[in-house]
């Protein structure tokens, strides 16, 4: 019942943010449904009415430049040309006749240029991965390599990605992290919620529009599968809030284990011999297991005086990093998919699932009066305190890569050790100022009974049952989805299983939804125990102070407030920021603290909210929000031929899964546990 109550307070205010079109015709805005789904203009000049073609710098570095990536647009009016130059990256396209622009302040949620369709093929198979000098025999990779291929597109393109599952005993679904999926929830790639798993030997095609730009990653949402290697980088080229000359290829930072996450998971539930611990840190799939310091390091070459765009992506299972380059500052220009006013810093904290674009100015700065004379510098990724778990005696080396000015120089960099504060946190709230500003209408917070509290409960009746608090909850129940019954197929249900942890929002089109997530220490003894330590508390619920990176699908959210003391909210001591608050798709719920998130109900769908620590998501830390259920039913049953075809595929994927599962459930389960031994997401 509580959730019917809760949904009332999930509704909120009216004042919508109607943006007036900056364009003289409305041709590229608010397209009808078919625009989001259809193949769009094909990649042939012959079809183009008023084509614009230009190159965007891509990577990997100065000595080894990749072919630039060509953006292709087909306008239906004359006068458009590209305007992104090294001295003005804020501009993307402009019309020389009308002076209209697609640029860094454009409301990209509503307006984007007319791109083309880009097609990719991802073939998932098993492979032993040697990423750090030690074999992981349980690796699962796209197209034979880890990380998977770099998916690239330009702002306004449509992506069409064919996924083939060649695994023996796992289904798969692929999620495009941070992509808004406007009117395409069925392409969000979450089994049990937006689709059934793709069965072994079967394939499916994901089609969606890249309305945002920046960097991100794609990863499996099938249980713990991404921890075994099922992840890759994704870049959507667009404007930048600060200038740069060249771009480096994406930097994927991840933690890594020497065996399958499916095997490590039992440790999360039993705590024996300890909660799961990782073995090393990898950059773009390469690392050095403790001691083996002589393996090839990630290396990039730069030229003095140039400015480089670097795309940093944290694809960890369990680790947040502090990223820095010795003797250099970084100018931060985006957080997740949101361009921000540039700010300069000497290190940034990157939480799981978070991404930053930063600009590296190739001019070393003396630190304590010292600069490397050989022109080589460590690129560091230091696991943050309170957001990491590595095997004892096995702390990864933080010197994860080398930036070199001099091609001939091969020596190991010599340098000072940075003295960053290693506490796990997000980048400072006050620094994340989006370029396209949101003014969130003033709203009341829901009553405190409707806060979503993160805590732990026991796991009666579940696999690996034992008498301890090991299952997380976010909305009063630990999530446990049914692979074969995606929520979007059951929208007419009168009731929901508790295990599905569904919250129905009553918000109408363009009203706002507010979500308050807290980690109250109500039942905690004082002083607070360290994360991972046993706690004596209220018997049926346990609140333990740990930081959680909270991720919302289907929207960027405005972060109205973020704090480290949950009692401040109840005492009314929290100032909410309505005028252009930070905006992103993952925010760190501080240990014992709170998050106040708000987003506009402009995207009908079933959107999951979950912790991006893989172990926590697997043990239930998630909920589903149904946004505008009636509009969603209308959308999914649309007679638009593209939607009809896509929903036919959707049903076929479920049919294939059911058939495979019937035949293989027994063979693929690991006794004494059933086939599914975690939440499934």
User: How many residues sit in the footprint of Cu ion (CB under 5 A)?
Assistant: 4
Query: Per CB under 6 A, does 367 bind ligand NAG?
Result: no
Query: Per CB under 6 A, does 496 bind ligand NAG?
Result: yes
Q: What backbone torsions phi and psi does residue 567 show, to the nearest 5 degrees?
A: -70, -25
Indicate the SS3 state at residue 414.
coil
DSSP type of residue 668:
H
Helix (H) or strand (E) holding 209: strand 203-209
Query: C-beta of 576: minimal distance to Cu ion in Å?
Result: 24
Q: How far is CA 364 from the centre of its chain?
A: 32
Residues forming beta bridges with residue 608, ordered by sequence position: 624
Query: Per CB under 5 A, does 616 bind Cu ion?
Result: yes
Each residue 189-228 as x (binds ligand NAG by CB under 6 A) or -, in order, gives ----------------------------------x-----
Distances (CA, A) of 472 to 192, 520, 542: 19, 14, 9
What gap in Å lies between CA 154 and CA 147, rounded to an integer? 21
Using the rule CB under 5 A, which residue among 161, 611, 614, 632 binds Cu ion?
A: 611
558's contact among Cu ion, ligand NAG, none, with CB below 5 to 8 A by partner kind, is none
Each residue 41-80 as x (binds ligand NAG by CB under 6 A) or -, in order, gives -------------xx-------------------------
Asked if 95 and 77 count as a contact pair (C-beta separation under 8 A), the reply is yes
**Of 255, 259, 287, 279, residue with least CA distance to 135:** 259
User: C-alpha angle with apex 355: 432 to 588, nearest 5 degrees?
Assistant: 65
Q: How far is CA 421 from the centre of its chain?
A: 25
616's contact among Cu ion, ligand NAG, none, with CB below 5 to 8 A by partner kind, is Cu ion
Query: Per CB under 6 A, does 160 bind ligand NAG?
Result: no
Indicate the SS3 state at residue 199.
coil
User: How many residues sit in the footprint of ligand NAG (CB under 6 A)?
Assistant: 60
Pull the structure tokens for residue 444.
């009341």
Using the rule CB under 6 A, which residue among 125, 395, 415, 497 binds ligand NAG?
A: 497
Q: Is 147 exposed, middle or buried (0-12, 13-18, 19+ CB in 10 A)?
A: buried
Query: C-beta of 616: minimal distance to Cu ion in Å?
Result: 3
What gap in Å lies between CA 411 and CA 496, rounded to an integer? 62
Query: Per CB under 6 A, does 237 bind ligand NAG?
Result: no
Query: C-beta of 613: minimal distance to ligand NAG in Å?
Result: 7
Using the rule CB under 6 A, which residue among 299, 423, 506, 664 binds ligand NAG?
A: 423
Q: Based on CB atoms, which residue is closest to Cu ion, 146 or 226?
A: 226
Query: Per CB under 6 A, does 26 bind ligand NAG?
Result: no
For residue 527, cis peptide bond before it (omega within 30 degrees of 0): yes
Query: C-beta of 352: minimal distance to Cu ion in Å?
Result: 9
**Sequence-distant (≥ 6) Cβ neighbours of residue 204 within 8 angstroms:** 162, 163, 195, 198, 649, 653
Query: C-beta of 172: minimal distance to ligand NAG in Å?
Result: 9
Using the rule CB under 5 A, which residue among 613, 635, 653, 681 binds Cu ion?
A: 613
Q: Based on CB atoms, which residue is closest to ligand NAG, 37 or 302?
A: 302
Residues forming beta bridges with residue 339, ordered by sequence position: 334
Query: C-beta of 653: minimal distance to Cu ion in Å?
Result: 29
Q: Based on CB atoms, which residue is closest to ligand NAG, 526 or 639?
A: 526
**Sequence-distant (≥ 6) Cβ neighbours of residue 168 within 8 angstroms:** 126, 200, 668
> Strands 60-61 and 338-345, how do they pair?
unpaired
Using the rule CB under 6 A, which residue among 131, 230, 253, 282 binds ligand NAG?
A: 253
Residues at the site binding ligand NAG, with contacts judged by CB under 6 A: 2, 22, 54-55, 81-85, 90, 100-101, 103-105, 138, 169-170, 223, 253, 260, 262, 292, 294, 314, 316, 319-321, 323, 329, 344-346, 350-352, 365, 381, 383-384, 387-388, 421, 423, 425, 476, 482, 485, 487, 490, 493, 496-497, 500, 549, 668, 670, 675-676
Residues at the site binding Cu ion, with contacts judged by CB under 5 A: 548, 611, 613, 616
């Amino acid at each position: 019942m509580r959730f019917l109550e809760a949904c009332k307070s999930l509704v909120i205010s009216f004042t919508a943010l109607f943006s007036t079109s900056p364009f003289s015709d409305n041709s590229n805005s608010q397209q009808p449904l078919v625009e989001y789904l259809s193949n769009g203009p094909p990649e042939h000049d012959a079809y183009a009415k008023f084509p614009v073609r230009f190159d965007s710098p891509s990577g990997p570095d100065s000595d080894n430049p990749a072919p630039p990536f060509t953006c292709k647009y087909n306008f239906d009016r004359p006068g458009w040309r590209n305007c992104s130059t090294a001295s003005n990256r804020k501009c993307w396209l402009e019309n020389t006749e009308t002076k209209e622009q697609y640029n860094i302040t454009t409301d990209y949620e509503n307006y984007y240029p007319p791109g083309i369709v880009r097609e990719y093929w991802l073939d998932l198979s098993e492979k032993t991965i040697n990423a750090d000098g030690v074999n992981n025999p349980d690796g699962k990779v796209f197209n034979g390599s880890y990380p998977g291929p770099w998916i690239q597109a330009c702002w306004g393109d449509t992506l069409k990605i064919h996924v083939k599952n060649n695994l023996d005993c796992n289904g798969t679904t692929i999620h495009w992290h941070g992509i808004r999926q406007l009117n395409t929830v069925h392409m969000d790639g979450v089994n049990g919620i937006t689709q059934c798993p793709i069965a072994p030997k079967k394939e499916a095609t994901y089609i969606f529009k890249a309305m945002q730009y920046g960097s991100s990653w794609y990863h499996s949402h099938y249980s713990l599968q991404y921890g075994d290697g099922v992840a890759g980088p994704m870049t959507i080229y667009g404007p930048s809030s600060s200038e740069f000359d060249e771009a480096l290829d994406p930097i994927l930072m991840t933690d890594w284990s020497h065996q399958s996450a499916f095997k490590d998971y039992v440790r999360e539930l039993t705590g024996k011999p300890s909660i799961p611990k990782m073995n090393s840190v990898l950059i773009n799939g390469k690392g050095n297991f403790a001691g083996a310091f002589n393996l090839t390091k990630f290396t990039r070459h730069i030229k003095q005086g140039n400015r480089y765009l670097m795309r940093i992506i944290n694809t960890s299972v369990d680790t947040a990093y502090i990223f820095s380059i010795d003797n250099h500052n970084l100018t931060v220009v985006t957080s997740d998919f949101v361009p921000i006013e540039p700010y300069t810093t000497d290190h940034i904290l990157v939480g799981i699932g978070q991404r930053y674009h930063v600009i590296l100015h190739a001019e070393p700065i003396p630190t304590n009066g010292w600069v490397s004379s050989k022109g080589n510098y460590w690129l560091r990724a230091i696991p943050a305190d309170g957001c990491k778990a590595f095997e004892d005696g096995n702390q990864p080396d933080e010197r994860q890569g080398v930036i070199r000015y001099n091609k001939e120089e091969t020596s190991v960099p010599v340098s000072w050790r940075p003295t960053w504060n290693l506490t796990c946190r997000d980048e400072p709230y006050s620094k994340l100022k989006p370029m396209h500003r949101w003014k969130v209408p003033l709203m009341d917070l829901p009553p405190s009974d409707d806060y979503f509290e993160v805590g732990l409960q026991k796991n009666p009746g579940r696999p690996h049952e034992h008498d301890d608090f090991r299952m997380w909850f976010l909305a009063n129940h630990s999530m446990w989805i049914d692979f074969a019954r995606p929520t979007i197929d059951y929208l007419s249900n009168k009731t929901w299983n508790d295990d599905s942890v569904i919250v129905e929002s009553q918000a109408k089109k363009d009203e706002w939804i507010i979500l308050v997530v807290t980690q109250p220490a109500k039942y905690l003894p004082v002083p607070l125990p360290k994360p991972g330590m046993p706690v004596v508390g209220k018997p049926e619920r346990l609140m333990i102070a740990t930081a959680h990176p909270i991720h919302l699908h289907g929207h960027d959210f405005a972060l109205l407030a973020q704090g480290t003391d949950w009692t401040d909210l109840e005492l009314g001591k929290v100032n909410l920021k309505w005028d252009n608050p930070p905006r992103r798709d993952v925010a760190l719920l501080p240990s014992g603290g709170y998050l106040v998130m708000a987003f506009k109900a402009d995207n009908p769908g079933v959107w999951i909210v979950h912790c991006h620590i893989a172990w926590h998501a697997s043990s239930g830390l998630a909920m589903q929000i149904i946004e505008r259920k009636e509009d969603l039913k209308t959308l999914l049953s649309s007679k638009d031929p593209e939607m009809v075809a896509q929903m036919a595929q959707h049903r076929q994927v479920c049919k294939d899964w059911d058939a495979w599962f019937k035949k293989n459930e027994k063979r693929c389960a690991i006794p004494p546990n059933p086939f599914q031994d975690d939440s499934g997401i």
